[in-house]
Amino acid sequence: MKSAASAVAAALLAGCAAYQGFQPATPDGYDGPTVNVADQTSQVSGSLVHVFEMTQVDGRRLLSTSIATLQANQGRGFSVAPVALSNEVPPRPARVRLQAVTQYAAPILAMTHPTCRVEGDVAFAPEAGKRYRVAGRIAAAECAAWIEDLATGQPVTYKVSGKGTGP
């Protein structure tokens, strides 16, 4: 477990160093209507945040909530405050990458506490005039993320899921 946690910590730190190359959710030159897709965070404790986010749209890498949170909390020790982002996407079918992840204030905490990171691509067909959010669950049995209609709470994509935080 410690070696896996060490790899996660190293990947997070490497991600900070490579804080570049992000693109907007809309394609270059797009000038039409958009719909909002909000990432979601859940503050579990002063040192732990659960993040449910969209990290890519049609292959374009987005600045995500987990990266923004990591950047905003550098130097805060064992304390973390989430920075939830949202993206504007065209109201047309797209392929999006979703992620559910535990985010600790300090990488050493991930080495000694349960972690989760699951990601996957899903088809998403947003409709004009609607708003969406990335929802999810991080639990002992399963970690999962999906997009839901903000007004109804109904899922509008398949769920990406993986191993939970339990043994």
Which pLDDT tens digit goes with each residue over 138-162? 999 999 999 999 999 999 999 999 9
User: Which DSSP symbol is given to 159?
Assistant: P
35/9 Cα distance (integer angstroms): 34
Stated pTM of the model: 0.84
If pLDDT is split at 50, 70 and 90, which confidence band does 15 have? very low
Q: In this predicted model, what pLDDT tens digit does every residue of 86-143 receive, in sequence order? A: 999 999 999 999 999 999 988 888 888 889 999 999 999 999 999 999 999 999 999 9
Give the pLDDT of residue 159: 97
Residue 92 sits at the vertex; the CA angle it makes with 90 and 97, to the nearest 5 degrees, is 80
CB 53 within 8 A of CB 39: yes
SS3 96: strand
Sequence ranges of the domains in the chain: 2-163
* Structural contact between residues 100 and 50, judged by C-beta atoms closer than 8 angstroms: yes
What does each C-alpha distance from 132 to 21, 65, 69, 145, 158 come to in angstroms? 25, 15, 21, 13, 14
Instruction: Compute the distance between CA of residue 159 and CA of residue 135 in angstroms, rounded to an integer.
Output: 9
pLDDT digits 0-9 by tens, 47-78: 999 999 999 999 999 999 999 998 888 887 88
- For the cut 70, the answer to whether the pLDDT of residue 4 exceeds it is no
Neighbours of 49 (CB within 10 A): 24
pLDDT tens for 25-35 read: 888 889 999 99
**Confidence (pLDDT) at 65:** 94
In the numeric block, which tokens belong to residue 106?
């300090």
Say if CB 71 and CB 36 are below 8 A apart. Answer: no
Q: What pLDDT was estimated at residue 141?
A: 95
**Model pLDDT, residue 36:** 96
Supply the pLDDT for residue 20. Answer: 59
